[in-house]
Chain A
């Protein structure tokens, strides 16, 4: 009888063992399979852990919504290839006057929406009115726009409240600044809602692909827009299909089997197996997304710069970068990634130095940790964050500081972060600048006006506030750069957050995918891709 039980146990173990050891023979099968040709030709399949929340480009403000939106909706200007250089797109050319307060765009005259109506200055005007009137999601990027007018059929003019140097980046980032057919907005509006209800699930843009279906919970599919202004000569896929696959292991299996062409968000530690697979490309690129443990700068001992510095010195950065992130990240110096324009190269990085940390704590009046105890929050489902916090906990124990970890849903943490009194002692967060400009990376995070918003360390420094305001209104690049250098030096010295690391972007896709260009600042577009 025990035999039966044993057999069952043995087979269960064998099964899971096969899983681990079966790789080598499986790979043979695969390379054999790929000689037979491409799976699902003409369709690019994305296996993703999540789907868009909604498809209205003026409300949606999350990566998976953008990923769908930017296949159908287009911007006035775009980033060139892999760079942060901005080039014409729906706008042929532009002009900046009145010291950066007035921006005039000359539009292409050969662009139509997929419903056949023309794209023109009136469409630009209507769309910006819509963004600013709905005033949700990405609308804050265009906060400073006071007026948009259609000068003539193909000339649109923006008037800004103050000279704003990063306006062009805001347009290129694809967050909000894209165009819906005014006819569709008009025809589907209900009670002056700007067709919000309809545009949640429907799309009418100028882009290369059109929404075919979206089965919520399962994914969406898009087909070619036959009248697309850039045309369909050359190699393109006929269809894009996104499938929601919740498990990282499953997405990896799909990629290995060739059922998925792109697999998003694969657990970093498991990528090694894909590196050895000739049918799969693992692209590792530096990004501008940083990871911070934000201290509540208004709370008890954390008000003391020395305590914050001590903690910054006690963290084992090497373990985080090379251990937890398996080298798929780099050191972070100061508040922003070195890929952002205006990064100050002379900043000094906090390096692990327990002696110095202990010394600083003693100076602050907490010899041997002085019984300091803090709560650190991390969000549910963000595994890497959780690991960093666990590492942080064990590091802080070395200098006598106790950390209690709390895992909460992001919604709960975000709610607590609205006031310094309600917020926890510290929490970990990823910062994703919308575009590679120091204004976007620093202003909201470290200006006092950002409290209750994304100044989540409740950092208040009048000097920094003044400099940030000044830099934002400066158009001359050399002057701006000098201002940002100074800001970064002060912030780094103050250590309002523990600057953990800069994450690399990991992209995994089949080797048979051609024409894919990775740009760190915008979502992937599938138009240039073929397979």
Chain B
């Protein structure tokens, strides 16, 4: 999957390219935030409150006179961090439980699958809300809450991959040649689950950003004065009729980033999914 030909092929799809561009821009913004920002993100200047976009404030200012552009630039760090953390945690738990469940089967599988059933049945937004409220509102708790609602999907995915692969010849061969079960999982089975995992994870980063923005919307996410897109959008919506820029820019950026991850994931899926490979 890493050969140059397929790399080129991937970038022939304009949508994937757009997705990749958006995500690279996000990463760049996060890395170079202090350089890109024109103002300190939390600097309150009441005299400049709710100013229109202008050369002094590219995206205008908020109700505390803070520069929205700078807050968005710094907010990219939060969004990226949140997205990666949620998916990272969810994958770690999911891959472990999924691998164990799929490989051992039997009652272990039964227990793990019932637990995932429970979590899947739980309305994710309400679960996240309850957990975030129980842990106390903060960004890291929002991340934990979101991850908790997310991991079962990975468990299921890895499990089904493993079930499919367990009987495959190369796995049997590896087992026969004296590898431990865990060694087999790590060396032979997981690499084969990688494609669907990558696709899913890419898209999920976007959705994780959306979910935590939703939590911020209810006040359970990042705490003030942190520049966070979700909270900005949430406060900004009250100003939608009178100060359009306040809600528009955070909304636009959440939208672009989630779209970016989706486009990228979609492109990767087309690219990595063996079932679709041969269709012209």
Contacts and interface: CB of A to CB of B under 8 A. Distances in A.
A405 B46 contact: no
A219 interface: no
Contacts of A394: 42-44, 225
A252 interface: yes
Interface residues of B, number: 38
A192 interface: no
A21 B242 contact: no
B136 interface: yes
B241 A249 contact: yes
Interface in B233-251: 235, 237-245, 247-248, 251
A389 B42 contact: no
Contacts of A233: none
A514 to B, nearest CB: 27
A273 B245 CA distance: 16
Contact of B137 (A269, A323, A408): A408
Nearest to B255: A12
Given A2-B18, A16-B244, A408-B137, A383 B224 contact: no
Q: Which of A13, A249, A387, A407 has the most CB of B within 10 A?
A: A407
A12 B255 CA distance: 11
Contacts of A318: 46
Interface residue SS majority, chain A? helix
A367 B218 CA distance: 40
A409 interface: yes
Contacts of B241: 19-20, 23, 249, 252-253, 270, 273
Contacts of A273: 241-242
Q: Which of A19, A20, A252, A253 has the most CB of B within 10 A?
A: A20
Given A270-B242, A405-B224, A2 B14 contact: yes
Interface string A122-166: 000000000000000000000000000000000000000000000
Interface in A265-318: 267, 269-270, 272-273, 316, 318
B64 interface: yes
A267 B44 contact: no
A405 B225 contact: yes
Interface in B205-253: 218-220, 223-225, 235, 237-245, 247-248, 251-252
A393 interface: yes
Contacts of B270: none
Nearest to A393: B225
B184 interface: no
Given A13-B252, A323-B49, A407-B219, A389 B244 contact: no
B37 interface: no
B45 to A, nearest CB: 9
B248 A381 contact: no
A245 to B, nearest CB: 13
A20 B244 contact: yes
B255 to A, nearest CB: 7
B15 A407 contact: no
Nearest to B219: A380
Contacts of A237: none
B249 to A, nearest CB: 10
B266 interface: no
A2 B259 CA distance: 13
A319 B44 CA distance: 10
A391 interface: yes
Contacts of B255: 12
A293 to B, nearest CB: 15
Contacts of B196: none
A437 B110 CA distance: 67
A23 B63 CA distance: 20
B243 A20 contact: yes
A406 interface: yes
A319 B242 contact: no
Contacts of A1: 14-15
Nearest to B234: A383
Contacts of A409: 133
B88 interface: no
Contacts of A252: 241
Contacts of A19: 240-241, 244
Contacts of A267: 238-239
B63 A269 contact: yes
Interface in B197-211: none
A269 B248 contact: no
Contacts of B240: 16, 19-20, 249
B238 A381 contact: no
B219 A387 contact: no
A16 B247 contact: yes
B27 to A, nearest CB: 20
A16 B258 CA distance: 19
Given A269-B50, A390-B225, A408 B44 contact: no
A386 interface: yes
Interface in A200-259: 247-249, 252-253
A418 B66 CA distance: 36
A322 interface: yes
Interface string A355-394: 0000000000000000000000000110100110111011
A21 B244 contact: yes
19 contacts: A13-B252, A20-B241, A21-B244, A248-B238, A253-B241, A267-B238, A269-B63, A269-B238, A269-B242, A273-B242, A323-B47, A323-B65, A380-B137, A380-B220, A381-B219, A394-B44, A406-B137, A408-B137, A409-B133
Q: Nearest 9 A-B pairs (CB), nearest first?
A: A20-B244, A323-B46, A380-B219, A319-B46, A267-B238, A270-B242, A1-B14, A16-B248, A248-B238
Interface of A: 1-2, 5, 9, 12-13, 16-17, 19-21, 23, 247-249, 252-253, 267, 269-270, 272-273, 316, 318-319, 322-324, 380-381, 383, 386-387, 389-391, 393-394, 405-409
Interface of B: 14-15, 18, 42-44, 46-47, 49-50, 63-65, 133, 136-137, 218-220, 223-225, 235, 237-245, 247-248, 251-252, 255-256
Given A269-B50, A323-B65, A324-B64, 12 more contacts: A2-B18, A12-B255, A269-B238, A269-B239, A269-B243, A273-B242, A316-B46, A319-B44, A323-B46, A391-B46, A406-B223, A408-B136
